[in-house]
Structures are given as structure tokens and as C-alpha cells.
Amino acid sequence: MPVIITAKHDGFRRCGVAHPAKPTEHPDDRFTEAELAVLKADPNLVVHQVKATADAKVVADAKVSADKVAAKSKTTPKGTGK
């Protein structure tokens, strides 16, 4: 399944990739199952797996959701944990 990843901080590195702060789609063979587990567990990333047959609306909805999370994290002052 393709994976859409958004970093909460632009350029955050994990699994050999500098992830941008905008939703980025990766092909389903880009990451191993172990790497996907690491990515999903990282609180600095928003990870959505979408079905390969997903229509454009499903992909767009995942990107909007990731954008909202990323935008919210930008407004939280560092070190506050809120």
C-alpha cells in the first residue's frame, strides 16, 4: 500500500529519508515492514497507508488530515508538550 508521510518538523530524518513537513506519497515498496513500524511509532511523523486502488478523494483526505496535524504541531511551542 502506498504510504503518505508528513513530518512535524521539515527535514526530520528517519529510515534514511529526510521527510518534508508536507504530505509526501511513497510507493508501497519504498519501506520494509520493519521500517513502517518504526515510522508509525515515531511521534514526529504522521503516517497514513492508503490502498493502492484508493481513489483520489481518499488520498486527498489523508493529505488534509496530515496537513492539519502538521499545522497544529507548528503552533505548539517547543518544550511545552501540549
| pLDDT digit string, tens, across residues 24-41 | 999 989 999 999 999 999
Query: What is the Cα–Cα distance from 19 to 32, expressed in whole angstroms?
Result: 16
Domain-embedded: residue 46 = yes
Rounded mean pLDDT of 2-15?
A: 96
Q: Say what the pTM is.
A: 0.65
Domain-embedded: residue 80 = no
Domain-embedded: residue 49 = yes
Domain-embedded: residue 16 = yes
For the chain, what percent of residues have pLDDT higher than 70? Answer: 79
Domain-embedded: residue 79 = no
Which CA distances in Å does 23 have to 42, 79, 81?
16, 24, 23
| pLDDT digit string, tens, across residues 54-74 | 566 666 777 777 777 777 776
Number of domains in the chain: 1
Strand partners, 75: none
User: Which range of residues forms the domain containing residue 9?
Assistant: 3-73
